[in-house]
């Protein structure tokens, strides 16, 4: 059974988790959902259900590896990177933010059949921020045609930068980017970097999509 939160449900989650996550936590990509947010959104209220193993096997392995990753879905970040993202985040560790927080999010790096959102080649990407600190920018990358999400750990060379936004204010806690995937079709990873405005804190998000 598919478990998705509507706008009211998402607001409730943001409020309910605000006290359960580190003070620096903010949010994640919610459309298309990042891997960590998608696993929390679909299974947070039912994470022990063995049905997940067959319905959503990549989330199943993530919950088994470290449930704290999903409870802290809005905290996949690093501080002090100063824009040197490629130096701070090694190949194969892009979806975990370079194994940030002592590898809490390591399961996000595992190749496989992650649940993917169907998107047209042009779409709006949304990041939701419960603390509303603002965005200096969003950088949005998409994997090159031919990248195999099922078997290949994500590397910088697999990605192409498709857009960088300008600064966006904190209120109402929604940051967007207009994404043009060009001629890409099929399964891809959208990789988003959100640079928060209140301090040097950057967030890293892998969202799985099926384009075209």
Q: Report the alpha-carbon distance of residue 206 to residue 107 in Å, rounded.
A: 12
19-34 pLDDT tens trace = 344 445 699 999 999 9
Contact 168, 129 (CB under 8 A): no
> Would you tell me how many other CB atoms lie within 10 Å of the CB of residue 1?
7
Contact 208, 95 (CB under 8 A): no
Q: Would you give per-residue pLDDT tens digits along the chain (212 residues)?
A: 344 444 334 434 443 443 344 445 699 999 999 999 999 999 999 999 999 999 999 999 999 999 999 999 999 999 999 999 999 999 999 999 999 999 999 999 999 999 999 999 999 999 999 999 999 999 999 999 999 999 999 999 999 999 999 999 999 999 999 999 999 999 999 999 999 999 999 999 999 999 98
What sign for the dihedral angle of Cα 157, 158, 163, 166?
A: negative
Q: What is the pLDDT of residue 153?
A: 97
Q: Report the alpha-carbon distance of residue 72 to residue 115 in Å, rounded.
A: 19
Q: What are the domain boundaries of the chain?
A: 7-211
37-48 pLDDT tens trace = 999 999 999 999
Helix axes 35-43, 7-17, angle to 10 degrees: 100
Q: What is the pLDDT of residue 165?
A: 98
Domain 7-211 CATH superfamily: chitin-binding protein cbp21 (2.70.50.50)
Q: What is the pLDDT of residue 22?
A: 47
Q: What is the pLDDT of residue 25?
A: 67
pTM of the model: 0.89
Q: What is the pLDDT of residue 10?
A: 42
DSSP letter at 149 equals T
């Amino acid at each position: 059974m598919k478990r998705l939160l509507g706008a009211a449900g998402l607001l409730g989650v943001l409020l309910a988790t605000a006290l359960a996550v580190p003070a620096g936590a903010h949010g994640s990509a919610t459309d298309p959902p990042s891997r960590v947010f998608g696993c929390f959104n679909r299974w947070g209220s039912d994470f022990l259900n063995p049905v997940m193993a067959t319905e959503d096997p990549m989330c199943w392995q993530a919950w088994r590896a470290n449930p704290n990753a999903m409870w802290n879905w809005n905290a996949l970040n690093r501080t002090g990177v100063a824009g040197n993202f490629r130096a701070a985040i090694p190949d194969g560790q892009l979806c975990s933010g370079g194994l940030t927080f002592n590898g809490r999010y390591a399961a996000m790096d595992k190749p496989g059949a992650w649940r993917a959102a169907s998107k047209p080649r042009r779409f709006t990407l949304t990041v939701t921020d419960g603390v509303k600190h603002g965005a200096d920018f969003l950088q949005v990358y998409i994997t090159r045609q031919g990248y195999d999400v099922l078997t290949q750990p994500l590397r910088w060379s697999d990605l192409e930068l498709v857009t960088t936004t300008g600064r966006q204010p904190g209120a109402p806690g929604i940051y967007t980017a207009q994404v043009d995937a060009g001629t890409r079709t099929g399964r891809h990873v959208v990789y988003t970097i959100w640079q928060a405005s209140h301090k040097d804190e950057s967030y890293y998000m892998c969202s799985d999509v099926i384009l075209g």
